[in-house]
Structure 1
Amino acid sequence: MVTTSDQNASEDSASEDSASDDSASEGASDQNGSPGYRRSAGSAKGEARRRELLDRVTDDLAANGLVDFSLRRAARAAGATHKVLLYYFDGAEDLLVQAVAKLRQRRIDNATALTLESYGTLAERVRALWPTLTEEEPGLRRVLDQAMGLAQYDSGRYGELGRQASRQYIPMLRSLCPDGWSERRKDEVAEMTLATLRGFLLERLVSGDEAGVQAGFEALIRALEREESA
């Protein structure tokens, strides 16, 4: 009888063999000088394995943060070799972007589960959203803060972490707006709210002035109330 772990080991071995064979046939490097590895064809079984590996790497990021993240560390966390990871992902940066996206989606799910079901107005929803950001699990907050810092530090290499964040957050914030608003108005208010909340979270982290941040947040709530009544 073959167990799930045996099947995964067998598949990983096959993936590694395929990567090695493909690398040899391509002369061990692509045009950019990176090792050339055969990629997964995206079968249902392969996609399930990719998700499993990504989940393990995501859990490692939540526990240990982004500092010293590498393909080698990711492989250890996933219980696989770096060749297996390169069979399913485009490299360390691609893996990092996807793992951070999963953690960010966890934040979004935590927020929308509360704000959309229990509160009626835009201001009420944003007020309910705030504690889900300030009181969320420390590991999640740490990774997402580090990801934004990394995007600013090396935008050429990690800029996608920042762009991806906006693509994920804006639809959620638009969903908090009244249904009758125009798409443009929803976009404007979502952008304003995202930028303001980001600033508050950064100020809270850097200065530790929670009273000042809370005062600013109350001003945001009043602005949203005026916007909704306009």
Structure 2
Amino acid sequence: MEPDVNDDSAEPAGYRRSAGSPRGEARRRELLDQVTDDLAVNGLVDFSLRRAARAAGTTHKVLLYHFESADDLLKQAIFKLRDQRIDRALAAAAEGAGRLSLADWVRAVWPVLASEEAGVLDQAIGLAMYDSERYAELGRGASQQYLPTLLSACPQHWPERRRLEVAEMVLATLRGFLVDARTSGDTDGISAGFEALARALEREEAAG
């Protein structure tokens, strides 16, 4: 079900959003943190401006003072969750001693990507598929933020085109596994496919 982001989302006449004052910005961050926490627990289904207001302990009019619209609030909360997942994934990869192989990098980040607490971000990909014009940045951008780090994990002697091809293949495959994990629950099949990906990357690196 698409989140109901339209209830009371029209900005009232005369309303003015907080315009960068330290106090206003601090309040905006506080509200965003509270809405983000609710989104992480309860997901996108039935998300609404009124639900967000309850989670933040305020009113929908206060939220509209600090955010352009319900869509703006939803996107910012998703972006915040995405940044948190990226930070955790990259931290997990950084725990390895020395330079990780591509296969090791993928194995290190996968548990973070597939964790239950990250499920709302995969719901956001579905939202982008449902209404690509409105939510396009929730889809493609979700994996593209990993691209620079994944490119740097490729052997540096590879031509730029080869590194891009392999990195895009990895991102697309992991994205497919995530969608399958959220929709089918076929953990055995996903595990088998994931190990096949890791072996393919090992062969790719061994080929020089």
Query: TM-score, structure 2 length as denominator?
Result: 0.82
Opposite residue 102 of structure 1, the aligned amino acid is: K
Q: Measure, in 2, the Cα distance between the counterparts of 1:166 and 1:112.
A: 13
Q: What's 2:175 paired with?
A: 198
Identify the match of residue 38 of structure 2 among 34, 53, 60: 60
- Tell me, which stretches of 5 or more residues in structure 2 are unaligned? 1-9
Q: What value does the CA root-mean-square deviation take over the aligned residues?
A: 2.2
Does 1:225 pair with 2:202?
Answer: yes
- Return closer, same or farther for 1:133/1:173 CA change in 2, 3 Å cut-off: same
Match of 1:51, SS state, is helix
Compute the displacement of 1:126 (Å). Answer: 0.9
Q: What's 1:160 paired with?
A: 137
Q: Measure, in 2, the Cα distance between the counterparts of 1:164 and 1:88.
A: 24
Compute the displacement of 1:185 (Å). Answer: 3.9
Q: Measure, in 1, the Cα distance between the counterparts of 2:144 and 2:51.
A: 28
Moved more, 176-185 or 123-132: 176-185
1:11-30 counterparts in 2 under 5 A?
none
Equivalent pairs counted in the alignment come to 195
State percent identity of aligned pairs. Answer: 67
Compute the displacement of 1:118 (Å). Answer: 0.8
**RCO higher in structure (CA 8 A, sep ≥6):** 2
- Return closer, same or farther for 1:42/1:173 CA change in 2, 3 Å cut-off: same
Q: What's 1:5 paired with?
A: none
Identify the match of residue 50 of structure 2 among 72, 75, 78: 72
Q: Measure, in 2, the Cα distance between the counterparts of 1:131 and 1:202.
A: 15
CA deviations on 1:131-188 (whole Å, 9 max, x unpaired) are: 2233x2x2x2331122111111122322231133134232343343345555544433
- Return closer, same or farther for 1:207/1:81 CA change in 2, 3 Å cut-off: closer
Does 1:130 pair with 2:110?
Answer: yes
Q: What's 2:127 paired with?
A: 150
Q: What's 1:25 paired with?
A: none
- Tell me, which stretches of 5 or more residues in structure 1 are unaligned? 1-32
Opposite residue 54 of structure 1, the aligned amino acid is: L
CA deviations on 1:193-226 (whole Å, 9 max, x unpaired) are: 1100111122233333322222221221122123
Q: Is the 8 A contact 2:125 2:138 kept in 1?
A: yes
Q: Measure, in 2, the Cα distance between the counterparts of 1:63 and 1:164.
A: 22
Query: TM-score, structure 1 length as denominator?
Result: 0.75
Q: Measure, in 1, the Cα distance between the counterparts of 2:110 and 2:142.
A: 17
- Return closer, same or farther for 1:207/1:187 CA change in 2, 3 Å cut-off: same
Q: Is the 8 A contact 1:50 1:88 kept in 2?
A: yes
1:168-187 counterparts in 2 under 5 A?
168-181=145-158, 183-187=160-164
Q: Measure, in 1, the Cα distance between the counterparts of 2:199 and 2:181.
A: 20
Q: Measure, in 2, the Cα distance between the counterparts of 1:44 and 1:182.
A: 47
